[in-house]
Amino acid sequence: MMSDTAVVDSRTSAEALRPSDGGTGTAIHALIERLYPLCRSLTGNGLRATLAILGEELARDDIALDLHEVPSGTQVFDWTIPREWNIHDAYVKNSRGDRIIDFRRSNLHVVSYSTPVHATMSLAELRPHLHSDQRHPAWIPYRTSYYQPAWGFCLAHSQLVSLPEDRYEVCIDSTLTDGHLTYGEALLRGEIDDEVLISCHVCHPSLCNDNLSGLATAVFLAKALRQRPRRHSYRFLFVPGLIGPITWLARNESTWHRVKHGLVLACIGDAGHSTYKRTRHGALDIDRAVEHVLRTADLPYEIRDFSPYGYDERQYCSPGVNLPVGCLMRSPYDRFSEYHTSADDLDLVRPEALADSLRKVVAVAEVLDGNRRYINQSPKGEPQLGRRGLYAPTGGSLHRNEDQHAMLWVLNLSDGQHALLEIADRSGIAFATIRRAADALESAGLLKEARSPSAS
């Protein structure tokens, strides 16, 4: 999945992030730390243990995480739920009995979904089963073999090239049996049944940015939204990559239509700038909401057009599904060299970056929830704002000035055709200010919400 894009140091913009977050970034990082040691995969007990921790964390705020177990062999569109994989131990021992490659030191040492093996062999026989990354000789790469039965070990290239001729004892104590695929789902009900879908892949072992950052940020997003009034309902999916969203989609086809906006959260905790990948359509409310939030955050950011590779947005945006789902990241997989290696560790993800990402996703939710259309109740000439206490007679601070500009924009474009987000974009004023102006005008009887069904 690596592209030709130049890899830049993903740590360079850390100083641009605001340091103070009231401890939220530290709390998100602490959740990542708790999840980090578990050996997750597409299926199995590591995945279940992860979902149990997420469920425990959500339960502190009275949010229920529903767990689903889908049997191996179940057909989900063009795919079949695979057998369940569990691993207990794995190692390569030299002839002196030293565990020179040891699953207990890093779960990345074993190719995920490795079939069981216990044998003694020469280096030449072992060599085809060893995987390393020459470009980063000190790091252990992450490899999987989900849909092709195989076994293997991953190790630092520097260790691989120094392995002597020997008789090696090779053991992977794993099981691959009929079982289940597990995923977690939480729903925060809002005023309306229209949903915002938040989805993260939960299948990677000890890797932090990809994607413990996504899981932990989604959990804290749910906690934040739980505390405030919500117009939309918010559905959170914690699913193994690719097969997980396909499974959810196959089991919930009758309710796809409720999903009006959606985001995949991935690689969202490193110190690089925010990156948004647009929906397949490219100009839906979710696209405009995220782009507005990034543009007004006063930090560097990047917008990418949709492509049919990347994370689980490609399932939600497949042509027969075509849900309005974009993907919010910091450094995408092709822009941080630590991607899918042991260097994607607890130091790569930063509390201040996690807090900044969470702030932005909460702001996106505020835009989606607050983006309504209104009708100006006094459209013939400007209404007299001073009489209603909405106009500062002697002029005033710049802030006050912006509030008044916002009121004039909202009054002018509230003809039932323009939603507040469009007014924010057209005026260049932040959505929160536009929303505040609309609230003041509505309280003064100058605006009424347009009740006709809207595109949002």
Considering only the stretches 6-14, 27-35, 202-210, 433-441, report the one whose residues sit in contact with Zn ion under the rule CB under 5 A: 202-210
CB of 358 to Zn ion, least distance (A): 21
Phi-psi region of 21 (alpha: psi -120 to 50; beta: other; left: phi over 0): alpha
CB of 197 to Zn ion, least distance (A): 20
From 304, 347, 407, 39, select the one nearest 208 (Cα to Cα).
347
Considering only the stretches 81-89, 210-218, 323-331, 345-353, report the one whose residues sit in contact with Zn ion under the rule CB under 5 A: 210-218
CA distance 271 to 10: 6
From 416, 404, 405, 403, select the one nearest 376 (Cα to Cα).
416
**346 or 408, CB closer to Zn ion?**
346
Q: Does 313 bind Zn ion (CB under 5 A)?
A: no
From 21, 58, 50, 55, select the one nearest 34 (Cα to Cα).
50
From 277, 289, 281, select the one nearest 232 (Cα to Cα).
289
Considering only the stretches 127-135, 153-161, 207-215, 269-277, report the one whose residues sit in contact with Zn ion under the rule CB under 5 A: 207-215
Cα 287 to the chain's mean position, in Å?
Answer: 15
Interface positions, 216-245, toward Zn ion (CB under 5 A): none
**84 or 210, CB closer to Zn ion?**
210
Structure-token pair, residue 92 = 């390569």
CB of 334 to Zn ion, least distance (A): 12
Which sign, positive or negative, has the C-alpha torsion 333, 334, 335, 336? positive
**325 or 367, CB closer to Zn ion?**
325
**315 or 414, CB closer to Zn ion?**
315
Residue 374's contacts (CB-CB under 8 Å, 6 or more residues apart) are 410, 414, 416, 420, 438, 441, 442, 447, 448, 449, 450
**185 or 210, CB closer to Zn ion?**
210
**2 or 408, CB closer to Zn ion?**
2
CB of 277 to Zn ion, least distance (A): 15
Contact code string over 87-106 relative to Zn ion, x by CB under 5 A: --------------------
Interface positions, 266-285, toward Zn ion (CB under 5 A): none
**344 or 352, CB closer to Zn ion?**
344
Considering only the stretches 25-33, 116-124, 179-187, 208-216, report the one whose residues sit in contact with Zn ion under the rule CB under 5 A: 208-216
CA distance 296 to 272: 17
Q: Number of residues in contact with Zn ion, rule: CB under 5 A?
A: 1
Q: Does 210 bind Zn ion (CB under 5 A)?
A: yes
CB of 239 to Zn ion, least distance (A): 13
Name the amino acid, one letter, at 161: V
Considering only the stretches 152-160, 168-176, 209-217, 352-360, report the one whose residues sit in contact with Zn ion under the rule CB under 5 A: 209-217
CB of 204 to Zn ion, least distance (A): 5
Beta bridge partners of 201: 239
Q: Is the peptide bond before 45 cis (omega within 30 degrees of 0)?
A: no
Contact code string over 36-65 relative to Zn ion, x by CB under 5 A: ------------------------------
Instruction: Specify the DSSP element, H or E, that contains 172.
Output: strand 167-177
CB 181 within 8 A of CB 44: no
CA distance 37 to 55: 17
CA distance 309 to 26: 32
Cα 249 to the chain's mean position, in Å?
Answer: 18
From 36, 47, 38, select the one nearest 146 (Cα to Cα).
47
CB of 413 to Zn ion, least distance (A): 43
Q: Which residue is nearest to Zn ion (CB)?
A: 210
Structure-token pair, residue 346 = 């607890």
Number of C-beta neighbours around residue 192 at 10 A: 13
CB of 65 to Zn ion, least distance (A): 22
Q: Does 312 bind Zn ion (CB under 5 A)?
A: no
Considering only the stretches 52-60, 184-192, 204-212, 437-445, report the one whose residues sit in contact with Zn ion under the rule CB under 5 A: 204-212
CB of 210 to Zn ion, least distance (A): 4
Binding site for Zn ion (CB under 5 A): 210
